[in-house]
Structure 1
Amino acid sequence: MKRAVMMLLACIGLAVGSADAAKVEQVWPLDGHENEQGDFFKKSIERMAALPGFQCHFDQMMVFTDGGGQRYSGDLAVLKPKRFRWQYEKPYEQFYISDGYGIWHYEPDLMQAERLDNLEAVDPAVMKLLDGRISTADLKVLQKENASGQQTRRYQVSIKGSEPVWLGFSRHGDLISIERQDLLGNRNRMSLSKCSYIAPSENLFSFTPPDGVDVLDMRSSK
């Protein structure tokens, strides 16, 4: 369980693939007006909160202070409220599924499934943000910058109960990047691609352990 929990707790650095061709001129309709830039951020957060759910492919990169690193990839699905599915394909297959009440963690190579009920243990602030449970009232903008080469606008924000993170948005207001550094200096980045903003099926968030799998019940009340 340890290796998987570390991976999921670190899933808070996002950056979505390249924008349109370089010949397309970046146009920010709100540039040059501080109050309107604030409106852009607010509307982008509200737009995300209003989505019933979404699905994306992710590519994650963790960079450690000792010079090492680790890459992960897989698929993420969210269905509000509180249902999510993190499915890792690389470096090994595993996934977390929350049905809104509890969490299954399954690692096929170990033939082991764990039943969890502590959402906070694998539900960091950014997951709450993706799930629409964090509003602009819960965010404080510390810094902001435009990354013209990537056609993104980034904001460093403080989220209640979490260390500051960088949130990046496309010129259309889609959340396209999140980057975080922990207290030890390790950095986490993830890229999202092939996103669909149509709510995924509820069936995606249910799980029954296959025959022969060792099931560990880690719930506090059984």
Structure 2
Amino acid sequence: MRKLALIILVAVTSQTTWADAVSDLKNYLSSTQSLQANFKQTVTSQQGKIQNSSGTLSIQRPGLFRWIYQKPFEQLIIADGKQVWLYDPDLKQATVKAMGKALESSPAALLAGNNQFERNYTLRPLPSREGIDWLEATPKQADQSFNSVKLGFSQGQLMQMELHDNFGQTTRIYFSALKINPKIDASQFRFTPPKDADVIRE
């Protein structure tokens, strides 16, 4: 009897967590047109080596985002709806690539893309951890650079992301100071490389 009760409890808990996580994601996609936040990021290699960084992000859905690494080195990643720019001020190097269909199947699509996430991802529930409800999104296209992305919500707010790539690395992103639907100047999503920058087009 105790074993049966435990099985029922686990099943109900899993369904509740799943419902909460899916509801939070759908609410984010339907109600969030813009977002600003601070973030801290840790990248753990397959050998256990950890790299820490931090910065700010701005998102205007669909398709616009400004992701700025401030520490330990400055780096800009800007999407203007047609192209994605990556600029390294220290190297004076700018890389630009078309957004295309690749972005539609990337983790950025869950934050800055359209609402058709289930077309590109297979979703499954994960256990809650420390008050955060989790779900895992696995790309339906097998040729992506990552295996899965996990999204963690608390009280309807996106708090964490975990990306697991094909090189055995785990990237964890922690969000703070979130502002939902702020007015963001359109210039934040435009980038013109400096005249002395080396521009690489992919």
Q: TM tier, shorter chain?
A: 0.7 to 0.9
Alignment of 1:85-96 (within 5 A): 85-96=66-77
Change over 3 Å in CA distance of 1:66–1:54 after alignment to 2: same
Q: CA deviation at 1:85?
A: 0.8
2:83–2:96 contact (8 Å) kept in structure 1: yes
Bigger shift: residues 151-160 or 65-74: 151-160
- Supply the distance in 2 between the matched residues of 1:64 and 1:33 (Cα, whole angstroms): 33
Higher RCO (CA-CA < 8 Å; seq separation 6+): 1
- 1:186 is aligned to 169
Q: Does structure 1 residue 206 correspond to structure 2 residue 190?
A: yes
1:184 Cα deviation from its structure 2 partner = 3.4
Higher strand share: 2
Identity percentage of aligned residues = 26
Contact 1:45 1:135 in 2 (8 A): no
The Cα of 1:157 is off from its aligned counterpart by 3.4
Note closer, same or farther for the CA distance 1:64–1:34 as it changes in structure 2 (3 Å cut).
closer
Residues 17, 125 of structure 2: 8 Å contact kept:
no
What runs of 5+ residues in structure 1 fail to find an aligned partner? 1-30
| Residue 25 of structure 2 corresponds to residue 45 of structure 1 | yes
Evaluate the alpha carbon distance shift between residue 121 and residue 35 of structure 1 in structure 2; reply closer, same or farther with a 3 A threshold: closer
Matched, 1:125 2:106: yes
TM-superposed deviation, 1:103: 2.3
Instruction: Give the superposition deviation at 1:156.
Output: 2.8
In 2, the alpha carbon distance for the partners of 1:111 and 1:193 equals 30
Supply the distance in 2 between the matched residues of 1:194 and 1:107 (Cα, whole angstroms).
Answer: 25
Higher mean C-alpha displacement, 112-121 vs 181-190: 112-121
TM value normalised by structure 1: 0.71
TM-score (norm 2): 0.77
Q: How does 1:57-68 map to 2 (within 5 A)?
A: 57-68=38-49
Deviates more, 1:33-42 or 1:63-72: 33-42
What is the identity, as a one-letter code, of the residue corresponding to 1:58? Answer: F
Aligned to 2:126: 144
CA-based RMSD: 2.7
Q: Which blocks of at least 5 consecutive residues in structure 2 are unaligned?
A: 1-10
Check the 8 A contact 1:42/1:136 in 2, yes or no: no
